[in-house]
Amino acid sequence: MSDEERTKQIAELSKSLKEGERIVGPTRRPDGTLRKPIRIRAGYTPQDEVAIYQPKGALLKKEMGSAGPPGYDPDADSKPKPKTKSVKRNERKKEKRIQAALEKEKNVSEVEESGKQEFVEALTSQVNELAVQDSQAQDIDKRIRALRKKIRLTEALEQKSTEQNLKPEQLEKLAKLEDWRRELKLLEDEKGETTVS
């Protein structure tokens, strides 16, 4: 479309304009082509220019600003009020309570420091003794469980087959059965002694 044709088109549109209407001329697209001219009616406002709706309460807040509620005088509020007798009395009580608590903490900390080292040494020795006893008891329990399992498996083997069908390792197990029973009895007696003491 040439410049002459565009001007003719705009002229035709402008002849038929009513009062308050206007024409927006053709605009260029990114690819270089031109858009048609647009006729805008009277009283039309584009959506981008329309004001956002705000309720009356929001408008009143804007008008008031930071003045505060009606009748508020910020100068009168900034002056410190004299303290009443009860406020002064409460402050004194609070200070006394704080000082008493500080003194109590000092006394407790002094007593604790003197007895702390003795207590810590006694406690560590007890913990070490318990740890040694506990590890010995665990070792005994572990050994007892292992012996019971060996005895159980060997007795099952004895019941299952005759001595003629057994391998040499199985015959050794049968020979050791009585030793394992004696050892188990000794361990159970030892465990009983440690739990009593």
pLDDT per residue, tens digit, the chain (197 aa), is 567 877 777 777 777 777 878 878 888 899 999 888 888 888 888 787 788 898 998 888 887 766 667 777 777 777 777 788 898 899 999 999 999 888 888 877 766 666 666 777 777 777 777 666 666 777 888 888 998 999 998 888 888 877 677 888 888 888 888 898 898 898 888 888 777 66
Is residue 77 a part of any domain in this protein? no
Is residue 17 a part of any domain in this protein? yes
pLDDT value of residue 163:
65
pLDDT value of residue 95:
92
Is residue 59 a part of any domain in this protein? no
pLDDT value of residue 22:
81
Is residue 111 a part of any domain in this protein? no
pLDDT value of residue 75:
73
Whole-angstrom distance, CA of residue 142 vs CA of residue 23: 100
Picking from 34, 49, 64, the residue at the C-terminal end of a domain is: 49
Is residue 88 a part of any domain in this protein? no
Residue range of the domain that includes 167: 119-196
Q: Would you mind telling me the total number of residues written for the chain in this entry? A: 197
Is residue 67 a part of any domain in this protein? no
Are 142 and 135 contacting, i.e. CB atoms less than 8 angstroms apart? no
Is residue 107 a part of any domain in this protein? no
pLDDT value of residue 66:
64
Handedness of CA 175, 176, 182, 184 (dihedral sign): negative
Q: Total structural domains in the chain?
A: 2
Which residues 6+ apart lie within 8 Å of 6 measured at CB? 26, 34, 37
Helix, strand, coil % over all residues of the chain, rounded to 5: 70, 5, 25
pLDDT value of residue 156:
86
Is residue 12 a part of any domain in this protein? yes
pLDDT value of residue 134:
65
